[in-house]
Amino acid sequence: MSLPVSLKSRLTLPLIAAPMFLVSGPALVKAACRSGVIGSFPTANCRTVEELDRWLADMVDDLKRAADETGRVPAPLCPNLIVHRSNTRVPDDLAAVLRHKAEIVITSVGSPEPVLKPLKDAGCLVLADVASVRHAEKAVAAGVDGLVLLTAGAGGQTGWVNPFAFVRAVRTFWDGIVVMAGGMADGQAIAAAETLGCDLAYMGTKFIATRESLAKDAYKEMLVKSRLDDVLLTKAFTGLETNMLRPSIAAAGLDPDNLPVRGAIDIAKDINASERDKPNSKRWKDIWSAGHSVSGVADVPSVAELIRRTADEYAAARQSVQRV
């Protein structure tokens, strides 16, 4: 099953604005969907289920207004459920997603099996994050509609596989929806992912550096100043392979080249020692992630402007291929 025609016709680009922890919020999602790109966000960005309900109601109402104003149905919004067994909110978040009739859901950090049946029964497309062929096979066996392939270039928690090899390996046993995540710096990269056999691409880092994102201004500025060599792959902070920004690690008083062993940093205690006495401080918020596409971040545009630029790049890339 490839991307449904009814969905594809609503897209300006075969693109998902990736769900980013503490970055993707209602303003970013609504702007992306209005511009014809699937807008996603982690439900964990809401502190409570009640807040999640409010976010979803606001986004759904806005997209209905957009359809009435323009006569064109926007791209769908796409909640991201963190399905790891440690997330006790999964049942309540799932119920909220179902109440608001989400068309697409992404599952991450665990098997999609516990949430798959209710989502499928509600007619929702389910995409599962996978970082290896083994995980992809398990997700397919569980009955998902699509696979999000976390390749080595993804920001935050990432994969290790080369995207070219990963897509071709998955396409030997899977003809459903495939999304490439990692290194999507521009429209040319999206066109390349499509040529390789993907239905959609994930773009995250460039959406962090938009006016609508929830990221701090200092984070956005750091992305503009950073380049590919400033991205560091480390297990020090989460115990999992994670792409982080070297300048943010250094700013927190740590040496990026001499970080402790896997998962050894207690971020709540070990970073920014001068702030230790502040109650309820979240010092780890200033250790920031980025993908390999960081070199493509040159400014901080609106979401609509970023999508316009990317659509122009994508169209030019497609025309170039057709001429050849």
Read out DSSP for 159-208?
--S-HHHHHHHHTTT--SEEEEES---SHHHHHHHHHHT-SEEEE-HHHH
**Continuous H helices in the chain:** 5-8, 26-34, 49-70, 90-99, 113-121, 133-142, 163-170, 187-196, 205-208, 217-225, 246-251, 267-270, 303-323
- Tokens coding 108: 């991450």
Neighbour count for residue 33 (Cβ, 10 Å): 25
Across all residues in the chain, what is the average pLDDT? 91
- pLDDT score of 275: 45
pLDDT at 280 over 50: no
Look up the pTM and report it: 0.91
Rounded Cα–Cα distance for residues 157 and 20 (Å) = 11
- pLDDT score of 110: 87
- pLDDT score of 239: 77
Q: For the domain 5-213, what is the CATH superfamily, name and number?
A: Aldolase class I (3.20.20.70)
Rounded Cα–Cα distance for residues 281 and 115 (Å) = 33
- pLDDT score of 226: 97
pLDDT band at 284 (very low <50, low <70, confident <90, very high): low
Work out the widest C-alpha separation in the chain, in whole angstroms: 63
Residue that is written with structure tokens 């449904």 in the block: 4
- Tokens coding 281: 């401080």
Contact 59, 29 (CB under 8 A): yes
- pLDDT score of 197: 95
**Angle between the N-to-C axes of helices 133-142 and 163-170, in degrees from 0 to 180, rounded to the nearest 10:** 40
Residues forming a β-bridge with 149: 130, 180
Rounded Cα–Cα distance for residues 45 and 54 (Å) = 12
- pLDDT score of 278: 45
Range 226-235 average pLDDT: 94
Range 218-236 average pLDDT: 95
Tens digit of each residue's pLDDT (9 = 90 or more) over 264-275: 555 444 444 444
- Domain residue limits, the chain: 5-213
- pLDDT score of 281: 41
How large is the C-alpha radius of gyration of the chain?
A: 19
Sheet with 231-234: list strands edge to edge: 156-157, 242-245, 231-234
Contact 33, 60 (CB under 8 A): no
Residues 6+ apart with CB under 8 A from 323: none
Tens digit of each residue's pLDDT (9 = 90 or more) over 39-89: 999 999 999 999 999 999 999 999 999 999 999 999 999 999 999 888 889
Core vs surface per residue 162-179: b (16+ CB within 10 A) or e: ebeebbebbeeebebbbb
pLDDT at 24 over 50: yes
